[in-house]
Structures are given as structure tokens and as C-alpha cells.
């Protein structure tokens, strides 16, 4: 006899579980606690089995009958409804574990274990946050290129073309990681490469001729601000490291007797240790700084606390106070100045210059060659560069003389 909603609502719990049949194997189990659970009895491969359909009234009478009929349809196809339900639950759990957010978080964790800089991870996390509301909760296998294009266009609409380009690249990294871990079959960002507005390439402001570079050096020498800021700017001119590498430098990295600065892998852009030879002039500056404030860990601590390094705004701010605007010179521009003038001299192998700048090519053998064969040349180049910097500071023309390299 079929059940009705009125009957079901009238069922009261008893001391033992009570079954109330609706026909076709479907019945409602009323437990002593009062809960009411739909179940279907069936036989599969000669065995009596039960399939739970959910509680009443969450699963209505009509829904329970529809699910019973669906189970019968599976039985006709020689499919066990219980096994199918189990597989569906596993697939649902797996789907939640392979959402874009889940895969992205796993990739970030992996990058952290591999020693990627915290600043890099923070930047990637911020970028991924820009797509979270659009695709974050979606199974990664179901995300289309059109869906990804929506947040990319939103970023573009704000005029942030470079951010949109980087966002597409980071999203692509997540998809490629999903492919590598067998959770996706393709990267939909590949087809979006030509869809975004290409950002205008702007080179970092720098002086690339000796006359203007010499004027900058003379301005630094007469700078009336912080002595440490002036020393840091002088070292940028002499050693042309990345500004962050110098600002965050620690005394433990320097061997002033052997005239070597060893930058740890964690602080270099290429994530590998980088050794730089120190000229006599650079050592003199460092010894002066150490004599005044070398008791702490950092070579150039912030003004208000020795626990944090000097900010890049400090260096760029000093350049502005000296009269150089952001379109003329930046703290990062010292690298471009040195690269241009060293190459222009014609005295030094281009690979030695690239090695000194901390640039690394794709070829592993060439990287090893940079570290070894060019070290002696880099030592000579460092002293030559220091002498030319001194000449330029005195308003003398550069002395492009022969050097035994």
C-alpha cells in the first residue's frame, strides 16, 4: 500500500525501528528517536541490499519515489545502485579537492617548500585572489577559457595591462600543475595569450653615458642627508646589485679581508647563491659603515629600528631630493648604467658582465662557466669599474685603456 504525506507525518516512534512500505522496495524507517529515513530494498548478484535515500522531510515522498525509480533503472543496466552512490560521493569529494582554489593552494605550498621567496608567494597569492570569486570554487576540469577571461578583462578595464598579463600567467601555472598531478588535461589560458592588451614596455630610468652618470656620482658625494643613505647609493654605483639585495644585506655575508660578498640563494632573484667581488673602494665604504653602526645584523637598517632594512623609498627619495626625477634615475637604474657602460667599453666579455649582474641563462653548463672561468675577469672588472667611477666623479673622461683580461 502506498504511503501519503499525511500518514508519514502521523508516524510516531516506538521502542523498535518500524518500517512502512511504499511499494517497489521503497520504505520509510522510523527509528525510536523519531528520525524518518527513506530506504530501498533490492537484490543484486543474488544478494539482498539496501540503498539509503536520505531523511524525510529533506527528501520528500515524491523525491524518494523518483530515486527508487532511478535505482531500478540502474538495476536494469546491471549497475549496483549502492556502488553507484558510493562512487558518486567519492567523485563529489574529489571534485571539491580539485577546485581551482584547492589546486592553487597546493601549488603555493609546494613553491614554499622549494624555497621560493615569501614576497613572490605573497604576490602570487594576491594575483590568484583576483580570480577567486569567478573560478575559485569551480572544479578545475570544468573551467573554460571564457570564464578566465572575465576577471582578466576586469583587471584590464582598470588599465592594469601588466597585472592582467601576469594574472594569466599565474593562473596558467595552476592549470599546468593540475595537469602534472593528473587532475586536469589542458590549460585553457594557452588560448588567451593573444586576447590581452600588451603592456607598453618601459625601461627603468638610468644614465647610460659617462657625463650624466658622473653628474649623478658628484651629487651623491655632496648629498647632505643620512650618511648611511649616501654610503648605500655609492655602493649601488660601485657594485650595481639589485637594490633589495643591498638594502637587506647582512654583515655575515661579507668577507672584507677576501673582498667577497656572498648573497644567499634566498635573497637572489634567481634563487641561487651569488658571489660578488668587492673593489678596494667598496671595502672602504663598508668598513666605514661598520665602524659607525656595524654591531647589528643588517648593514643598512631602517632609521627607526635595527630589525628592518632600509626601504627602497629611502634610496629613491634621496635621488629625488638631489634633483633626479623618476624618469631620469632610480635605485634600480644603477644596474642599467653599469651594464651599458661596461659593455660600451669593449674591455670585458659580455658573459662576465652578465655573471656580475647576477643574470642566469638557460644553459646549465654556461652557468657553471660563469661562476668559475669568469671570476678572475670579474675581479679585474670590479677594480676597473671602481677606478672609472672615481674618474667620472672628478669630472674626468673615462679612461678606456687596455686591460689584461
Residue 51: which CATH number? 3.30.160.390
The catalytically annotated residue of 154, 267, 269, 371 is 269
Rg of the chain, C-alpha, whole Å: 34
Which residues of 6-46 form beta strands (DSSP E)? 18-23, 26-30, 36-44
CA separation for the pair 112, 118 (Å, rounded): 8
243, 236 contact by CB (below 8 A): yes
CATH number at residue 153: 1.10.150.130
| DSSP code for 189 | G
Shortest CA distance to 341 belongs to which of 232, 189, 211, 219? 211
Asked if 30 contacts 36 with a C-beta cutoff of 8 angstroms, the reply is yes
Q: Residue 124 domain-assigned?
A: yes
Q: Which of 139, 49, 128, 126 is nearest to 93 (CA)?
A: 139
CB-based contact 326:318 (threshold 8 Å): no
Using CA atoms, how far apart are residues 203 and 330, in angstroms rounded to an integer? 11
In a domain? residue 401: no
Among candidate residues 332, 370, 374, 378, the one labeled active-site is 332
The verdict on 221 and 132 lying in the same domain is no
Look up 203 and say whether it is catalytic: no
Q: Report the distance separating Cα 53 and Cα 40, nearest Å.
A: 7
> Do β-strands 26-30 and 47-55 pair in parallel, antiparallel, or remain unpaired?
unpaired
DSSP 8-state assignment for residue 350: H
Domain count, the chain: 3
pTM, full prediction: 0.56
- Domain containing 148 equals 100-192
Look-up: residue for cell 668559475? Answer: 372
Q: How far apart are CA 53 and CA 50, in angstroms?
A: 10
Integer Cα distance of 68 and 48 in angstroms = 16
**Residue 367 annotated as catalytic:** no
Based on the domain organization, do 263 and 327 belong to the same domain?
Answer: yes
Can 269 be counted among the known catalytic residues?
A: yes
The verdict on residue 47 lying in a domain is: yes
For residues 215 and 158, membership in a common domain is answered with: no
Residue 76 falls in the annotated catalytic set:
no
Is residue 272 part of the annotated active site? The answer reads no
Question: Each residue's pLDDT tens digit in the chain (405 positions)?
Answer: 688 889 988 899 888 999 999 988 899 999 998 999 999 999 998 889 888 898 999 999 999 999 999 989 998 899 898 888 887 776 666 555 689 999 999 999 998 888 777 778 888 999 999 999 999 988 898 899 999 999 999 998 888 888 898 999 999 999 999 999 888 889 999 888 888 887 655 556 778 888 889 999 999 999 888 899 999 999 999 999 988 899 989 999 999 999 999 988 777 766 678 889 999 999 999 999 998 876 788 999 888 887 888 888 899 999 999 888 888 888 888 998 899 999 988 888 888 888 888 876 444 435 555 555 588 899 999 999 999 999 998 876 555 444 443
The residue annotated as part of the active site, out of 242, 247, 274, 378, is 242
Amino acid at each position: 500500500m502506498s504511503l501519503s504525506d499525511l500518514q508519514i507525518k502521523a508516524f510516531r516512534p516506538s521502542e523498535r525501528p518500524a518500517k512502512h512500505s511504499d511499494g517497489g522496495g521503497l520504505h520509510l524507517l522510523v527509528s525510536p528517536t523519531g528520525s524518518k529515513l527513506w530506504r530501498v530494498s533490492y537484490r543484486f548478484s543474488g544478494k539482498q541490499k539496501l540503498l539509503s535515500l536520505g531523511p524525510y522531510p529533506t527528501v520528500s515522498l515524491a523525491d524518494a519515489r523518483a530515486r527508487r525509480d532511478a535505482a531500478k533503472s540502474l538495476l536494469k543496466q546491471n549497475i549496483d545502485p549502492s556502488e553507484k552512490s558510493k562512487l558518486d560521493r567519492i567523485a563529489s569529494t574529489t571534485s571539491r579537492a580539485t577546485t581551482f582554489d584547492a589546486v592553487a593552494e597546493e601549488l603555493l605550498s609546494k613553491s614554499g617548500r622549494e624555497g621560493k621567496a615569501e614576497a613572490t608567494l605573497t604576490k602570487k597569492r594576491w594575483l590568484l585572489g583576483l580570480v577567486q570569486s569567478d573560478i575559485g570554487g569551480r572544479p578545475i576540469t570544468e573551467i573554460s577559457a571564457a570564464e578566465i577571461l572575465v576577471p582578466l578583462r576586469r583587471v584590464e578595464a582598470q588599465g592594469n595591462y601588466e597585472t592582467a598579463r601576469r594574472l594569466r600567467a599565474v593562473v596558467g601555472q595552476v592549470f599546468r600543475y593540475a595537469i602534472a598531478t593528473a587532475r586536469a588535461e589542458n590549460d585553457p589560458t594557452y588560448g588567451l595569450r593573444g586576447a590581452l592588451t600588451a603592456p607598453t614596455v618601459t625601461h627603468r630610468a638610468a644614465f647610460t653615458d659617462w657625463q650624466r652618470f658622473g653628474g649623478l656620482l658628484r651629487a651623491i658625494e655632496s648629498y647632505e642627508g643620512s650618511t648611511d643613505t649616501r654610503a648605500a647609493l655609492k655602493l649601488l654605483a660601485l657594485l650595481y646589485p639589485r637594490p633589495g639585495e643591498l638594502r637587506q644585506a647582512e654583515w655575515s655575508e661579507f668577507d672584507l679581508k677576501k673582498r667577497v660578498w656572498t648573497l644567499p640563494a634566498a635573497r637572489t632573484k634567481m634563487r641561487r647563491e651569488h658571489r660578488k667581488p668587492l673593489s678596494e673602494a667598496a671595502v672602504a665604504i663598508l668598513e666605514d659603515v661598520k665602524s659607525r653602526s656595524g654591531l647589528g645584523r643588517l648593514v643598512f637598517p631602517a632609521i627607526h629600528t635595527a630589525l628592518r632594512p632600509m626601504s627602497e623609498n629611502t634610496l629613491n627619495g634621496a635621488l629625488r631630493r638631489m634633483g633626479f626625477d623618476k624618469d631620469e634615475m632610480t635605485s634600480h637604474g644603477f644596474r642599467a648604467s653599469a651594464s651599458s657602460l661596461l659593455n660600451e667599453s669593449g674591455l670585458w666579455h659580455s658573459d662576465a658582465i652578465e655573471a656580475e649582474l647576477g643574470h642566469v641563462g638557460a644553459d646549465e653548463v654556461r652557468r657553471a662557466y660563469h661562476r668559475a672561468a669568469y671570476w678572475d675577469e670579474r675581479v679585474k672588472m670590479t677594480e676597473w669599474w671602481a677606478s672609472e667611477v672615481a674618474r667620472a666623479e672628478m669630472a674626468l673622461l673615462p679612461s678606456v685603456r687596455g686591460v689584461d683580461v
